[in-house]
């Protein structure tokens, strides 16, 4: 498996172990992870700390041209908020662990020229299904259903 997707999965597993939603992400440039993170909405009571947002925050302030040379790896299809950040910073490529449990704004990202690679990782799917089954109300809250 791709080591960067594996790093995102590791972040997702950390989030799950902390009692949060198991979505992880890493921002990579030239084979180096610049930032890594996981969904910490539940842990910190912060509505915007999705996995992708946490990874971007943990990468710190970067010049605009750096983002345009990055790939964002995420265990789950990016939601509208995270897709907006991808577009805002001009991240050209996103590797998605899976989009079966949730389909984010992939069509919008593609329409704006972002290259997407969807892996359909069994590990990502199983982790999300385990969480959704155990905590359906938390999951529905995360995706704006309740």
Which tokens go with 50? 């999705």
Q: Please identify which of the residues 11, 18, 52, 117 carries the catalytic annotation.
A: 52
Question: Distance between CA 128 and CA 114 in Å, rounded?
Answer: 24
Strands laid side by side in the 32-38 sheet = 32-38, 24-29, 70-74, 93-96, 115-118
User: Measuring CA to CA, which residue among 69, 71, 131 is closest to residue 96?
Assistant: 71
What b/e sequence results for 17-44 when a residue is b if at least 16 CB atoms lie within 10 Å of its CB, and e otherwise? eeebbbbbbbbbbeeebbbbbbbbbbee
Which tokens go with 103? 């389909």
Q: Please confirm, yes or no, whether 133 is among the known catalytic residues.
A: no
Q: Which residues are catalytic?
A: 52
């Amino acid at each position: 498996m791709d080591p960067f997707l594996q790093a995102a999965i590791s972040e997702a597993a950390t989030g799950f172990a902390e009692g949060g939603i198991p979505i992880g992400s890493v921002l990579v440039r030239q084979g180096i992870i610049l930032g890594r993170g996981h969904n910490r909405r539940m842990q910190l009571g912060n509505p915007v700390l999705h996995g992708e947002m946490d990874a971007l925050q943990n990468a710190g302030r970067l010049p605009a041209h750096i983002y345009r040379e990055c790939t964002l790896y995420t265990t789950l299809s990016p939601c509208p908020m995270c897709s907006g950040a991808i577009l805002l910073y001009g991240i050209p490529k996103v590797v998605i662990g899976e989009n079966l449990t949730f389909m984010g704004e992939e069509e919008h990202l593609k329409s704006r020229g972002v290259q997407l690679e969807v892996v359909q990782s069994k590990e990502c799917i199983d982790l999300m299904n385990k969480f959704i089954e155990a905590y359906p109300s938390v999951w529905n809250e995360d995706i704006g259903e309740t």
